[in-house]
Amino acid sequence: MNARVETPETLRHDWRREEILALFREPFMDLMFRAQQVHRAHFDANAVQISSLLSIKTGRCSEDCAYCPQSVRHRDADVEEHDLMPLEEVLAAARQARDSGATRFCMGAAWRRPKQRDLEPVLDMVRAVKELGMETCLTLGMLEAEQVRQLREAGLDYYNHNLDTSPEFYGEIITTRTYQDRLDTLQRVRDAGISVCCGGILGMGEGQEDRAGLLQALANQPRHPDSVPINMLVRVAGTPLADAGELDPFEFVRTIAVARILMPRSQVRLSAGREHMSDEMQALCFLAGANSIFYGEKLLTTPNPAAGRDRQLFARLGLRPA
């Protein structure tokens, strides 16, 4: 099992909203100093875990997530749809990711909930990628207990299922799946002993209280997520959030720092949106406690910095792959 041992002396699962908002409102330098202290107590401050993400099935999703071009409801979004990729194509992408320095290979499929006939070839992908010596992660939508059991037996290491935003703001973004649906899937994944990857998206029009609410929902789960991806909205033409206003970069960094303080042993992943972040902003995120990134030029359907740019940034900052 990948689950860490958590002790009540070091980790909390009872954060109150006002406590989290108080962290957000600390002077920026004080918040950064506090987050860096927490980070160094639990991690090598100069090591960053590298993951790679591949869309193994793209488009025609029945959900209505306002940020996602893969929804069938967002017909004006320009996305190249494709059915489930053949195993050999997935393995070729995994080998390339491994050879470029990634240690975890994440596979995403645009399903609301996979059927058993969908799951069978994905189980083969998990087994094959594991044989390459890589950690495996999947995001397939909602899962039932039996499906989770099969994934665990195939050797799946991580399952990604984001909460996206606060419970209060959630209905503004998604109506086809409830917040409790997401929590139920996460509990099934935890019960099976698979590590949880769970985070959210910033810049969707939410307020600071919603960002605090997202982190509260993450940190107060029965076990902190092993990985916490923090995404900056990538505005895609043809989606309801195409014209969303830009989030203050310092507010994004603050969210990274508060996530590190609330979930001190979790890997906090700097995820979607890095293509539009300056090197200086990314450096502040690492200083605030981010210690994981997605590597490669595409995240499902949106762009990501080229691997060469990431290597150059790591060299300038003295960072190294974990």
Positions in the chain whose pLDDT score sits under 70 = 1-9, 77, 79, 296-307
**In the annotation, is 61 catalytic?**
yes
pLDDT of residue 304: 52
From 60, 52, 122, 112, select the one nearest 85 (Cα to Cα).
122
Q: What backbone phi and psi angles, to 5 degrees, belong to 75? A: -70, -20
Q: What backbone phi and psi angles, to 5 degrees, belong to 271? A: -110, -130
The helix (run of H) or strand (run of E) holding residue 293 is strand 292-294
Q: How far apart are CA 74 and CA 301, in angstroms?
A: 14
pLDDT of residue 307: 62
User: Of these residues, 34, 68, 152, 182, which one is catalytic?
Assistant: 68
User: Of these residues, 34, 177, 197, 235, which one is catalytic?
Assistant: 197
User: Of these residues, 34, 104, 137, 182, which one is catalytic?
Assistant: 137
Q: In residues, how long is the chain?
A: 322
Q: How far apart are CA 242 and CA 54, in angstroms?
A: 23
Q: Give how far Cα 183 sits from Cα of 8, 160, 179, Å.
A: 22, 12, 6
From 174, 51, 182, 187, select the one nearest 107 (Cα to Cα).
51
In the DSSP assignment, the letter for residue 27 is -
**In the annotation, is 197 catalytic?**
yes
Q: How far apart are CA 308 and CA 305, in angstroms?
A: 8
Exposure of 35 by Cβ count < 10 A (0-12 exposed, 13-18 middle, 19+ buried)?
buried
- Token duo for residue 223: 């076990």
pLDDT of residue 35: 97
**In the annotation, is 198 catalytic?**
no
The b/e string for 292-310 (b: 16+ C-beta within 10 A; e otherwise) is bbbbbeebbbbebbebeeb
Is the C-alpha dihedral spanning 105, 183, 270, 304 positive or negative?
positive
For 303, the 3-state DSSP assignment is strand
User: Of these residues, 211, 269, 274, 285, which one is catalytic?
Assistant: 269
pLDDT of residue 15: 97
pLDDT of residue 306: 61
User: Of these residues, 34, 65, 211, 254, which one is catalytic?
Assistant: 65
Other beta carbons within 10 Å of 146? 11
pLDDT of residue 58: 87
